[in-house]
Homo-oligomer: A and B are copies of this chain.
Amino acid sequence: MPNGAQILIDGLVGAGVRVCFANPGTSEMHFVAALDDVPQLRPVLCLFEGVATGAADGYGRMTGHPACTLLHLGPGLAGGLANLHNARRAATPLVNVVGDHALRHKRLDAPLESDIEALARTVSGWTRRTYHAAELAGDVADAVAAAAGPPGGIATLVVPADVSWTRADGPTAAARPPVARRGLVSVDAVTGAADALRSGGRTALLLGGEAARGAGLTSAARVAAATGAKLLCETFPARLERGAGRPVVERLAYLASGAQRQLAGVRHLVLAGAASPVSFFAYPGQDSALVPEGCAVHTLAAGAEDVTAALEGLAEVVSPGASPVRAEALRPALPTGELTAESAAAVIGALLPEGAVVVDEANTSGIWLPGATAGSPPHDVLTLTGGAMGQGLPLSVGAAVACPGRPVLALVGDGASMYTPQALWTQARESLDVTTVVFDNRSYAILNLELRAVGAAPRGPRAHPLLDLSGPSLDFVALARGMGVPAERAATAEEFGAALKRGLSEPGPFVIDCVVPALG
């Protein structure tokens, strides 16, 4: 008769879960022991919980299926919450398995006791605690179904230690739950959007979620080509398909002033899988809504609806014969001389391999990347959906586990990289083909911009050090090598080009400490 941990793992495997990003503790030891009998579930050790959750996010974004995490009680879940916040914003399918004290141990208020469900509910669409081993098969099937969506989301299952170690009858392999279909949008939503886009004024189509890729993106581009609508994508898409031969779509700018310019004069804005755009932060004396006054907003499809089908339908209505505008194959020349965020972007655009998965947490150093890579071979971009720093390196782990045949390029700011540097160790442990570029400008450069944007006083001798990462400078070559990842420093465009070629051509992980001046 299997124990609860074995039932749980059989259930995960039966429901199609293939990878477990784990940072276990004592209460998860039966789960760990049970892994030996189930080769279908690949355990991947992460040295910090935020790496595990961010990796599961990257895996879910690339496969569309949930990975699971394995976390140790409330504090373990807490360590993973920031990247779960990002995953929630990305609508990523993801199952957390959180071990807990044995039920009879709960009332004793032992040191690790805490309110796990309260933490879980802040990021999860589905949260449950299993009280009996016999109920695990059903609970894990429900968890995976809840995570799968639509839309995808986070399901957190809390498993007390005694539930894991107790033996029970019952189905040892849960049936793979039926995949729920996205709801179809109404005919009115389609005709309303079509009427708006053909009304004569300036119009725009804002894509989000699944509309940023595949058939949805192509249909949207056909609509734009036929109606003259500006084709925009949300600022931080979970996964955007772009590059040579793919439809051209512009991301809404991060800074409110930029987004306002993109939307200026638009009379009708059609939302396809995206929310009505608002600024990332509020600023004194500025409106947070980005939709211009007098612009009518039309929802073609909301997050849980079938946005791809809706866009296909819309394309048939407004543009049965239109062809989308596709990006030309056009790479920048390999630059020489000074290494800056701009010349680094040109190097990346010149060398980006076909099929790359680009993880972008480069923040201020990334502003030239979309332009420099627009005509590079087709690639996917995963972005910082929830604004919680420390997402890039963990995402790269999950993307590489999900897509073993594809090169992964992680582009991260120096500040951002230091929230979850432990991801590099897992890259090395699993021999993942990730090339990481750390934009080393020795500052929280984005906060220097924001300090001005919010109208705060000029920085002085006490405030300045809080935005400055020099004194001491971080040596990312040493940090990477300390975690088993080969690394090089680049201080000129030529050095960066040579290092990037090496990183992309060699199997396994590689880190480039890309020394650039801070923006502004």
Contact = CB atoms under 8 A, between A and B. Distances in A.
Interface stretch (A30-38, A245-253, A492-500): A30-38
Interface in A45-76: 45, 47-48, 50, 74-76
Max chain B Cβ within 10 angstroms of own Cβ: one of A38, A236, A468, A474: A474
A41 to B, nearest CB: 8
B50 A79 contact: yes
A71 B47 CA distance: 23
A114 B27 CA distance: 29
Interface in A263-316: 275, 278-282, 284, 288-289
A405 interface: no
A422 B428 contact: no
Interface string A437-459: 00000000011001101111111
A273 to B, nearest CB: 15
Contact of A425 (B104, B418, B468): B418
B26 A459 contact: no
Contact of A32 (B35, B43, B466, B479): B466
Contact of A43 (B27, B162, B279, B462): B462
Interface residues of A, number: 105
Interface in A458-483: 458-463, 465-469, 471-479, 481-483
Contacts of A25: 447, 450
B111 A387 contact: yes
Given A121-B118, A454-B26, A288 B36 contact: no
A444 to B, nearest CB: 8
A250 B204 CA distance: 72
Nearest to A483: B474
Interface string A122-147: 11000000000000000000000000
A512 interface: no
Interface in A1-33: 22, 24-27, 29-30, 32-33
A78 B85 contact: yes
B284 A162 contact: yes
A82 B89 contact: no
Nearest to A473: B484
Contacts of A450: 25-26, 29
Contacts of A280: 26, 110-112
Contact of A119 (B26, B38, B119): B119
Contacts of A468: 45
Given A33-B459, A447-B24, A465 B45 contact: yes
Contacts of A460: 36
Contacts of A454: 26, 29-30, 161, 165
A150 interface: no
A102 interface: yes
A96 interface: no
Contacts of A446: 26
Contacts of A108: 278, 288-289
A248 to B, nearest CB: 24
Given A454-B161, A461-B36, A465-B43, A118 B112 contact: no
A388 interface: yes
A425, A466, A481 — most chain B CB neighbours (10 Å): A466
Nearest to A457: B33
A216 interface: no
Contacts of A82: 75-76, 78-79
Contacts of A76: 82, 388
Given A27-B281, A32-B463, A455-B165, A418 B111 contact: no
A429 interface: yes
B81 A75 contact: yes
A104 B278 CA distance: 12
Contacts of A477: 482
A377 interface: no
27 contacts: A25-B447, A26-B453, A29-B454, A32-B447, A32-B463, A32-B467, A33-B459, A33-B463, A36-B459, A39-B462, A43-B466, A47-B419, A48-B390, A50-B79, A75-B388, A78-B81, A79-B79, A81-B119, A89-B111, A104-B282, A105-B282, A109-B278, A112-B388, A165-B284, A425-B472, A425-B474, A478-B482
The 6 closest A-B pairs by CB, nearest first: A472-B484, A478-B482, A75-B388, A36-B460, A78-B81, A102-B282
